[in-house]
Amino acid sequence: EAGVTQFPSHSVIEKGQTVTLRCDPISGHDNLYWYRRVMGKEIKFLLHFVKESKQDESGMPNNRFLAERTGGTYSTLKVQPAELEDSGVYFCASSLTGARDEQFFGPGTRLTVL
């Protein structure tokens, strides 16, 4: 069974540009999460989807970030326009709904904004 995949693995863009990150969760996982780790800081939660619905978006830093999960399968996270402080590693995770809360993480996308 394939794990959580993320694309791209690295992205280097200039300030003001737009970047879209993609996450493909494990097949059958209704829950999808986005996290990020900016330089020198802790891994922080961004938002949580249950199928196609946003269950918790309390961690989204501002309205330059837009996450979607159309059809309840893969998800995209768009940053528009990107700022220098957006640089970091963006992780996606997925989990089953039910008794187990284990989240399976993807390898992350390293975003560098110049």
Partner 1 sequence: SQQGEEDPQALSIQEGENATMNCSYKTSINNLQWYRQNSGRGLVHLILIRSNEREKHSGRLRVTLDTSKKSSSLLITASRAADTASYFCAKVYTGRRALTFGSGTRLQVQP
Chain residues that interact with partner 1, rule: CB under 8 A: 4, 31, 33, 35, 42-45, 48, 55-56, 59, 91, 93, 95, 100-108
Measured from the CB atom, is 20 or 105 closer to partner 1? Answer: 105
Choose between 11 and 95: whose C-beta lies nearer to partner 1. 95
- Please, what is the minimum distance in Å from the beta carbon of residue 49 to partner 1? 11
Closer CB to partner 1, 81 or 107, in the complex: 107
Which residue, 81 or 105, is less far from partner 1 as judged by CB? 105
- 84: its two tokens: 């220098």
- At closest approach, how far in Å is the CB of 24 from partner 1? 13
DSSP secondary structure string for all residues of 85-105: GG-EEEEEEEE-SSS--PPEE
In the complex, least distance from residue 108 CB atom to partner 1, rounded to whole angstroms: 6
What's the closest the beta carbon of residue 30 comes to partner 1, in angstroms?
A: 11
Cα–Cα distance, 111 to 19 (Å, whole number): 9
